[in-house]
């Protein structure tokens, strides 16, 4: 196995080792005001939506995880099956490996083969040559593209990149591809200053990928001989990142540490048009099987429809629930909101 494929397999294993469904995160600092008289009825059809022209059964999706190794091929096949059957959008893991190892294409394409009509995102790093990205999008028949920003992960990774002058590269990719682009973080949070810079450069969709769930600094640290533990706590939490991003854009995706249907609902209440779920679904899949994950996704939809009714909401596009916060989150937000 190549060094890159080995790393993909290590990520799969280490993300499971560190996964903790009970761990508290910033969603717990967000509270929603519930009307005693909501005047609603539970209706699953209210969850239906569409994104980039594709119909979807729910506003949450399977976020970018894997591809580029044998084990990740099995995972992508299963996730593709679930995305297709449940009509969820799905993002593949970074396909930048294909510029060096073209024979790994199938480890990504299996997800498209399982779900020929669904909304599928390809995913690359900002340093992938623009013409290769164009090729990747075509080969995977991707409807849209995620480009991930993962500076904290690279710094923690012994073999990681050390040059983060990425904006021009991002623009080159944007000029080369003709599908919509989402700029995402990978669990350390997109800050408002970077969002503004990216908007000025013409990008419009942002996945804040906040801290509170999968922590790649921690994962890369565990692969190092001498650890840099202070890197583990540098992330901007998902709730704080969402609060800061919300005034800047309505093309907002909330993700990072989503553990259940209530977190999805809070993500929508914080301004997310869509909510991304990564390791929570992967962990469930690896503990069970694809059919069980499909049923779990269906159960999340039932629960989300219940939450919409409970909180008096009838329009998924405009979730408007009064939100209040624990003092720590409020305090952080007050300090940063003028940025
Ligand atoms: C095993 C694994 C591999 C991942 N690989 C990628 C990747 O290749 N590209 C990317 O943009 N994000 C990647 N991510 C990050 C997720 O898309 C997401 O931003 C992050 O895990 C936070 O969400 P979570 O807390 O729901 O896991 C990966 C996550 C996991 C668990």
Sign of CA dihedral 328, 332, 335, 337: negative
Q: What is the rounded average pLDDT of the residues 142-159?
A: 96
C-beta of 156 in contact with ligand 1 (< 6 A): no
Q: What is the rounded average pLDDT of the residues 105-111?
A: 98
C-beta of 187 in contact with ligand 1 (< 6 A): yes
As a whole-number percent, the residues of the chain with pLDDT over 70 amount to: 100
Strands 49-51 and 54-56: antiparallel
The residue whose C-alpha atom lies closest to atom 21 belonging to ligand 1 is: 214
Q: What is the rounded average pLDDT of the residues 246-257?
A: 98
Pick from 149, 152, 161: nearest CA to 228: 152
pLDDT of residue 259: 98
The residue whose C-alpha atom lies closest to atom 17 belonging to ligand 1 is: 64
C-beta of 282 in contact with ligand 1 (< 6 A): yes
pLDDT band at 319 (very low <50, low <70, confident <90, very high): very high
C-beta of 258 in contact with ligand 1 (< 6 A): yes
Tally the C-alpha atoms within 13 A of residue 236's C-alpha that lie toward its C-beta.
23
Q: pLDDT tens for residues 112-133? A: 999 999 999 999 999 999 999 9
pLDDT of residue 192: 98
Angle between helix 290-310 and 70-86 (nearest 10): 40
**Mean pLDDT for the chain?**
97
Confidence check: pLDDT of 2 > 90: yes
pLDDT band at 326 (very low <50, low <70, confident <90, very high): very high
DSSP per residue over 57-77, as a string?
Answer: S-SEEE-----SSHHHHHHHH
pLDDT of residue 34: 97
Q: What is the dihedral of CA 46, 142, 82, 20, to 10 degrees?
A: -90
The residue whose C-alpha atom lies closest to atom 29 belonging to ligand 1 is: 65
Confidence check: pLDDT of 262 > 90: yes
Task: Record the pTM.
Answer: 0.98
pLDDT band at 158 (very low <50, low <70, confident <90, very high): confident
Q: pLDDT tens for residues 229-243? A: 999 999 999 999 999
C-beta of 63 in contact with ligand 1 (< 6 A): yes
């Amino acid at each position: 196995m190549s060094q890159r494929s080995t790393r993909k397999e290590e990520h799969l294993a280490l993300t499971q080792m560190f996964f903790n469904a009970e761990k508290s995160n910033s969603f717990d600092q967000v509270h929603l005001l519930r009307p005693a008289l909501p005047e609603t009825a539970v209706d699953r059809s209210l969850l239906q939506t569409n994104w980039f022209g594709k119909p979807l059964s729910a506003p949450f999706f399977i976020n970018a995880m894997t591809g580029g190794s044998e084990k990740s091929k099995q995972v992508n096949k299963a996730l593709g099956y679930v995305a297709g059957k449940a009509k969820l959008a799905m993002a593949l893991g970074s396909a930048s490996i294909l510029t060096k190892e073209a024979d790994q294409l199938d480890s990504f394409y299996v997800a498209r083969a399982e779900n020929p009509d669904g909304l599928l995102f390809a995913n690359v790093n900002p340093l992938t040559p623009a013409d290769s990205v164009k090729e990747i999008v075509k080969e995977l028949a991707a409807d849209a593209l995620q480009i991930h920003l993962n500076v904290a992960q690279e710094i923690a990774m012994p073999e990681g990149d050390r040059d983060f002058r990425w904006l021009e590269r991002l623009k080159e990719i944007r000029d080369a591809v003709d599908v919509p682009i989402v700029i995402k973080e990978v669990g350390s949070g997109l800050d408002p200053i970077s969002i503004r810079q990216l908007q000025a450069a013409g990008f419009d969709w942002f996945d804040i990928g906040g801290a509170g769930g999968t922590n790649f600094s921690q994962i890369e640290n565990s692969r190092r001989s001498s650890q840099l533990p202070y890197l583990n706590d540098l992330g901007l939490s998902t709730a704080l990142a969402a609060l800061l991003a919300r005034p800047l854009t309505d093309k907002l995706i909330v993700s990072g540490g989503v553990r259940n249907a209530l977190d999805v609902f809070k993500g929508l209440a914080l301004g997310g048009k869509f909510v991304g779920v990564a390791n929570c679904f992967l962990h469930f899949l690896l503990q069970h099987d694809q059919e069980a994950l499909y049923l779990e996704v269906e159960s999340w939809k039932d629960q989300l429809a219940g939450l919409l009714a409970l909180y008096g909401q009838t329009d998924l596009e405009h979730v408007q629930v009064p939100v209040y916060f624990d003092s720590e989150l409020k305090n952080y937000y007050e300090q940063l909101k003028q940025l």
